[in-house]
């Protein structure tokens, strides 16, 4: 496999994950989680969203969360905004980056933000202007890039059309989102092979949901084509309230474990990340889908049973020591 030496992960759990929790998560707990995630070495965190409280009640405390987090110099703290009003709020709150979203399918865009794609892009043009004045970078996400829960197939030329319109209004960082986990590795590769040569200089991100257990295979397919930026969510939190069938994002600690096992660097302390995942489970009050927090890392070693140890003692020394057998 042709894999990059290093990748950058953006943690989206505090926004994409917490936004669909049925019970309001207290501000102090959100702040605690963000601080734990930053302390693990994550370089990018999507902290919250500046949307109308009636639309996403869970993020009605966006300003308070941004004001209370402990800023780690090497971490970029971002927020999702739907329009220029949200962008102004985000800038005033001191975000390091603004994230936006538009869908590749008309039906999902209408369900998600009650606008056509063309209307959304006009709104995003105003967001770009606010961000440019404030010198805050913008990353534009494209939902349903690999399939729509209402339309099923989303042709690559349709995705290309949305990318082109975003580039035309100034986008330099674009995320392709598999909103309901419909993608497969060959499709991801085919889409990126089509888009990347047409839009040189773009920072590409893959945003995957693990609805059908395909998230990490899809990420590996993107890595082989040179993509080095990925979104993930602590514990596998997440889902889209406006996309039937959507489940959580790819689990951050599972992804980091996979990358580290292959020798791909992330700058993240996996032990600290696992501790953050356990705390998030306490906060939401349930077991989350992540596997490594349950199973441990690949090099976890268990005690050798006494009966086995006795047999191992009779093996050649080099074999017995490697297997952990006691020596006389």
Extents of the domains making up the chain? 8-297, 299-328
Q: Is the pLDDT of residue 317 over 80?
A: no
Residue 264, judged by CB atoms within 10 A of its CB (0-12, 13-18, 19+), counts as middle
**CA atoms within 13 Å, Cβ hemisphere of 302:** 7
> Whose structure tokens read 């976890």?
300
User: Do 209 and 249 contact (CB within 8 A), yes or no?
Assistant: yes
Using the structure block, give the residue that is written with the tokens 């800023």.
71
pLDDT score, position 327: 47
Q: What is the pLDDT of residues 109-166, one digit of tens each?
A: 999 899 999 999 999 999 999 999 999 999 999 999 999 999 999 999 999 999 999 9
Residue 325 vs residue 236, higher pLDDT? 236
Domain 8-297 indexed as CATH 3.20.20.70: yes
Tens-digit pLDDT profile for residues 182-219: 999 999 999 999 999 999 999 999 999 999 999 999 99
Query: What DSSP state is assigned to residue 152?
Result: B
Residue 237 gets the label, from left (phi > 0), alpha (psi -120 to 50) or beta, of: beta
pLDDT tier for residue 328 given thresholds of 50, 70 and 90? very low
- Whole-angstrom Cα distance, residue 12 to residue 32? 15
Structure tokens at 200: 């040189």
Res 172 pLDDT > 50: yes
Measured distance CA(119)–CA(79) in Å, rounded:
21
Q: Is 37 helix (H, G, I), strand (E, B) or coil?
A: helix
pLDDT bracket for residue 311 (50, 70, 90): confident
- How far is the C-alpha of 25 from the C-alpha of 58, rounded, in Å? 7
Question: Are residues 276 and 40 in contact, defined by beta-carbon separation less than 8 angstroms?
Answer: yes
The residue to which tokens 């999507």 are assigned: 46
Distance (Å, whole) CA 21 – CA 155: 32
Look up tokens 């030496």; give the residue.
5
| pTM for the model | 0.93
Question: Could you read off the pLDDT of 274-283 as tens digits, one per residue?
Answer: 999 999 999 9
State pLDDT tens for residues 240-266: 655 555 568 999 999 999 999 999 999
Percent of the residues in the chain that have a pLDDT greater than 90, as a whole number: 85
Which residues are known to be catalytic?
240
Cβ contact 98:127 at 8 Å: yes
Strand ranges inside the chain, DSSP E? 8-11, 44-49, 76-80, 97-103, 138-143, 173-178, 203-208, 229-232
């Amino acid at each position: 496999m042709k894999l990059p030496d290093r990748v950058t992960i953006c943690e989206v759990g505090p926004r994409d994950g917490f936004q669909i929790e049925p019970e309001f998560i207290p501000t102090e707990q959100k702040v605690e989680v963000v601080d734990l995630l930053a302390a693990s070495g994550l370089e990018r965190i999507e902290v919250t969203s500046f949307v109308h409280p009636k639309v996403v009640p869970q993020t009605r405390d966006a300003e308070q969360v941004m004001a209370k987090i402990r800023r780690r110099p090497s971490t970029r703290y971002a927020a999702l905004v739907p329009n220029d009003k949200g962008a102004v709020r985000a800038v005033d709150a001191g975000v390091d980056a603004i994230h936006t979203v538009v869908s590749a399918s008309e039906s999902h865009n209408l369900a998600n933000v009650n606008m056509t794609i063309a209307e959304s892009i006009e709104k995003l043009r105003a967001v770009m202007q606010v961000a440019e004045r404030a010198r805050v970078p913008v990353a534009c996400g494209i939902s349903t890039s690999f399939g729509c829960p209402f339309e099923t197939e989303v042709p690559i030329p349709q995705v290309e059309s949305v990318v082109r319109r975003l580039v035309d209004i100034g986008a330099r960082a674009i995320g392709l989102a598999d909103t309901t986990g419909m993608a497969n590795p060959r499709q991801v590769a085919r889409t990126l092979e089509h888009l990347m040569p047409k839009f040189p200089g773009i920072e590409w991100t893959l945003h995957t949901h693990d609805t059908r257990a395909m998230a990490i295979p899809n990420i590996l397919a993107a890595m082989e084509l040179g993509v080095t930026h990925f979104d993930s969510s602590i514990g596998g939190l997440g889902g889209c309230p406006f996309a039937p069938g959507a489940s959580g994002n790819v689990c951050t600690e599972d992804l980091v474990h996979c990358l580290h096992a292959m020798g791909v660097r992330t700058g993240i302390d996996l032990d600290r990340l696992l501790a953050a995942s356990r705390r998030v489970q306490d906060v939401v009050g349930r077991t989350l889908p992540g596997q490594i927090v349950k199973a441990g890392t690949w090099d976890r070693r268990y005690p050798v049973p006494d009966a086995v140890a006795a047999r191992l003692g009779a093996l050649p020394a080099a074999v017995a020591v490697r297997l952990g057998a006691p020596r006389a």
